[in-house]
């Protein structure tokens, strides 16, 4: 009987020691996390659990060669800032995504004939799956990845990383946005698509913006004829997912 009692006492002492040790460790960890993380131990645990359940991913990696190609662009277009052409690339991308979701070619930003065809090809590829959605688009970064000037015809190739909710059916929508990236080619010197508005060019008679339609040289608003001196403008020529 005495040996059993002694064993129980020993077990009780060990259990108490373990409990005290755990309490001391928890107290010190709680002080540490509170001091350096601004949260107590249970709050840190909750944050870790939320992170494990989060479907989010870091932004996609893109090719960044702006420092190499920007001087070439500035040499060829001294009256245009780099921020202007970068903004054009971003506008081209967001308008392309909106056009696909709305299935409306008129939403494309300054499209070339090539990009217009790409748009229709993508709609055709999506026909069996339904409407392709790009909700809540947020651009992370844009960088000039390549720059080619071939006898005055220029291609400025941007790579842009962004996030959005990308899905066809509502059941496919994730809890967190998808991380995507696109290559956006802006061209200076190729043919305009029908319906393109030539920014900075207006009818000399009524002042209406000039709209390209079958290469006509008549104002569609007042009927006046005009001479097209230079139709070399920046166009969105290609947008591809990478």
Per-residue model confidence as pLDDT tens digits over 209-241: 766 555 555 677 787 765 554 445 899 999 999
User: Structure tokens of 229?
Assistant: 């001196």
CATH topology of domain 66-241: Nuclear Transport Factor 2; Chain: A, (3.10.450)
Reported as type and span, the H/E element at residue 83 is helix 82-102
Categorize the per-residue pLDDT at 39 as very low, low, confident or very high, splitting at 50, 70 and 90.
low
Among 20-24, 190-194, 236-240, top mean pLDDT goes to 236-240
Q: 41 Cβ partners below 8 Å, 6+ apart?
A: 26, 29, 30, 33
- Give, in order, the Cα–Cα distances in Å from 195 to each of 3, 20, 90, 108: 99, 79, 21, 11
In contact, 164 and 136? CB cutoff 8 Å: yes
Categorize the per-residue pLDDT at 46 as very low, low, confident or very high, splitting at 50, 70 and 90.
low
> What is residue 53's predicted lDDT score, i.e. its pLDDT?
46
> What is residue 154's predicted lDDT score, i.e. its pLDDT?
95
Categorize the per-residue pLDDT at 52 as very low, low, confident or very high, splitting at 50, 70 and 90.
very low
CA separation for the pair 234, 82 (Å, rounded): 13
pLDDT over threshold 70, residue 54: no
In contact, 115 and 235? CB cutoff 8 Å: yes
pLDDT (mean) for 142-152: 94
* Three-state DSSP state, 133: strand
pLDDT over threshold 80, residue 177: yes
CA separation for the pair 118, 174 (Å, rounded): 27
pLDDT (mean) for 138-150: 96
Q: Kindly report, residue by residue over 59-109, the tens digit of the pLDDT.
A: 889 988 999 999 999 999 999 999 999 999 999 999 999 999 999 999 999
Whose tokens are 């591809």? That residue is: 240
CA separation for the pair 239, 242 (Å, rounded): 10
> What is residue 48's predicted lDDT score, i.e. its pLDDT?
58
> What is residue 221's predicted lDDT score, i.e. its pLDDT?
76
């Amino acid at each position: 009987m005495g040996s059993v009692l002694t064993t129980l006492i020993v077990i009780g002492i060990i259990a108490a020691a373990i409990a005290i040790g755990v309490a001391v460790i928890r107290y010190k960890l709680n002080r540490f996390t509170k001091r350096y993380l601004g949260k107590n131990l249970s709050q840190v645990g909750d944050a870790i659990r939320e992170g494990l359940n989060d479907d989010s991913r870091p932004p996609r990696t893109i090719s960044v060669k702006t420092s190499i190609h920007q001087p070439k662009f500035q040499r060829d277009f001294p009256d245009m800032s780099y921020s202007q052409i970068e903004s054009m690339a971003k506008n081209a991308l967001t308008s392309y995504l909106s056009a696909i979701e709305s299935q409306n070619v008129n939403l494309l930003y300054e499209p070339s004939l090539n990009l217009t065809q790409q748009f229709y090809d993508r709609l055709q590829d999506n026909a069996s799956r339904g409407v392709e959605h790009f909700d809540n688009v947020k651009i992370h970064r844009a960088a000039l990845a390549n720059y080619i000037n071939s006898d005055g015809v220029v291609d400025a190739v941007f790579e842009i990383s962004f996030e959005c909710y990308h899905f066809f059916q509502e059941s496919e929508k994730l809890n967190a946005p998808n991380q995507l990236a696109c290559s956006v080619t802006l061209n200076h010197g190729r043919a305009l698509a029908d319906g393109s508005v030539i920014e900075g060019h207006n009818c000399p008679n009524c002042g209406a913006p000039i709209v390209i339609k079958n290469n006509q040289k008549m104002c569609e608003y007042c009927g006046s004829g005009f001479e097209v001196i230079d139709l070399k403008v920046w166009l969105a020529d290609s947008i591809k997912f990478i």
